[in-house]
Amino acid sequence: MSIRDKIRALRLYYKSVRAISQVLSPNWHILTFPFFGKGEFVSHSEGKVFSVPKKYWQMLPSAARMIEVGAYPYWKDDVLHVAFQGSEFTAPPMDKSLGGTLKEIFLDNVYKLDEMDLNGKVVLDVGAYVGDSAIAFAKQGAMVHAFEPLPILQTYLKENIRLNNLGNQIEIHPVGLSDKNEVITINATTCGFAGATVLDSTEKSAKGERVLQNLQLVNAVEYLHKSGIGKVYFLKLDCEGCEYALFQNVPFWEMIKPEIIMMEFHRGGAVLASKLEEWGYQVDPYEKGQVGYIYARFQHENSDS
């Protein structure tokens, strides 16, 4: 880590000290942890001792947020483990995204899982990350096709499926869905994989804690056909911008015909919502910012819903 990056990391850490101290103690351990100390803390809620390896001091704010919502993070063999609501998840050791996604899925109910019956239904999880959402769907009885093109995440996705004994319900597809077959380079941050971006071929290197990844993209219609995937009940889309390309691929939508769609948009949702309504979906009200979620349900003729 460069001096500039270290200073930036320290600034972010100390901005979080007050929030950390509301969850963990003692305060002097929190204040000095980036420079020295064993990284042992006590949670206010349960009085449990919690440890962060010294080399992962930047993860303390994220760890505190996880503990606050009832998750228990720990590190083993340079892997982040998180125990939460009877499930176990693994992720890269500096991944700050997992706590937030677990909260969204299991506590905030962003996918509205309590409003649908997924038992025996087919779910397409596009942008499966480390399997947090796929595992949530499978635990509701769904058969899940999990698409995750980032090689650095595929190992954790596979391990999390194994840890939760869901190998018979979740099938991994190590590709990204697109309108054509190609390999692209992704500039993925090792501190939160929600921030992956496509690199221009002239860019010399990634800045900060990032790693270059080669992703295999496939023609969605051709790939689904070869894989025997047709109509699905639930489509989850969180693929950092690929949703816009997929919305131009009408044959893709005609093939899967999802009853329910839950998607995250990254460049505004108006165009996507308008297209869904044109195709016969009822779109729930959504935030009109650049980033947000759209939830839509297909309206059948003579439907009372």
Return d(Cα 267, Cα 273) in angstroms, integer: 12
Query: Do 262 and 233 meet the contact criterion of CB atoms below 8 Å apart?
Result: no
Domain with CATH 3.40.50.150 in the chain: 111-178+220-298
| pLDDT tens track for 140-169 | 999 999 999 999 999 999 999 999 999 999
- Contact yes or no for 139/169 (Cβ under 8 A): no
The strands making up 87-91's β-sheet, listed across from edge to edge, are: 72-76, 79-84, 87-91
Q: Which two tokens stand for residue 249?
A: 């691929």
Q: Which CATH number fits domain 111-178+220-298: 1.10.3720.10, 3.90.930.12, 3.40.50.150, 3.60.150.10?
A: 3.40.50.150
Q: Are 170 and 147 in contact (CB under 8 A)?
A: no
The token pair at 129 is 């990350």
Any idea of the CA torsion for 216, 221, 225, 227, to the nearest 10 degrees?
30
pLDDT digits (tens, 9 = 90+) for 168-210: 999 999 999 988 899 999 877 767 654 444 443 334 433 446 7
Considering the entire predicted model, what is its pTM? 0.89
Q: Mind listing the pLDDT tens digit for each residue in 124-138?
A: 999 999 999 999 999
SS3 113: helix
Interval 90-121: pLDDT, tens: 999 999 999 999 999 999 999 999 999 999 99
Residue 266, pLDDT score? 83
The answer to whether residue 287 scores a pLDDT higher than 90 is no
